A and B are shown apart, each in its own frame.
Chain A
């Protein structure tokens, strides 16, 4: 499985934007970039995903480098509820998308200060 590298922790202030980086230099052409987050005492929750183009949804934006070797998850206005561990994951959809195995790294622990 292609590997991702994330900072162990980051800190932000409430209502400020947060940029969470992820490096994936060995990404393959069939790897989608997924982000999940895990709030304290809960199971992981899907945030966003993308392949080549930048993506936006109600939770966040995903900026993908042109060479796809890195990406950045952007939370536009952090709230206390966004304090969580954020995981950047590569999901290989080669073979018709039947691979539902997610390989989680250590993730980034985001602390949001009031």
Chain B
């Protein structure tokens, strides 16, 4: 079974630009979550999508947005990039339900803002 895939793996953008990252969950997984990882703040939850709806949201500004498609694939978008947005962006997928406790993480997209 294929794992969570994220594209691109590496990205360099300039301050003020916008960026879109993509995540394909494991087949059959309908929940997709996004996390930001930086050396200073560690792993922080961005948002979670299920059935094309945002179900949970972390404490990030509105420049960070996401969406989920009917096939459960998800994208996140960051507009007006700032230097502090340089980070590893991780996507995780899960089955849905109380007994489905595991989140499976992808390898991440390394975003560098210059």
Q: Which residues of A contact B (CB under 8 A)?
A: 32, 34, 36, 42-46, 49, 87, 91, 93, 96-107
Contact = CB atoms under 8 A, between A and B. Distances in A.
Interface residues of B, number: 29
Which applies to chain A's interface (DSSP): helix, strand, loop or mixed?
loop
B92 A91 contact: no
A93 B103 contact: no
Question: Which of A100, A105, A107 gathers most chain B CB within 10 Å?
Answer: A100
A103 B33 CA distance: 12
Question: Chain B interface secondary structure, helix, strand, loop or mixed?
Answer: strand
Nearest to B58: A101
B64 interface: no
Given A101-B33, A101-B56, A106-B42, A32 B107 contact: no
Interface of B: 4, 31, 33, 35, 42-45, 48, 50, 55-56, 58, 90, 92, 94, 96-108
Contacts of A36: 103
Nearest to A96: B98
Nearest to B105: A43
Contact of B106 (A43, A87, A98, A106): A43
B45 A103 contact: yes
Contacts of A91: 101
Nearest to B57: A101
Nearest to A45: B105
Given A43-B90, A43-B92, A43-B108, A104 B44 contact: yes
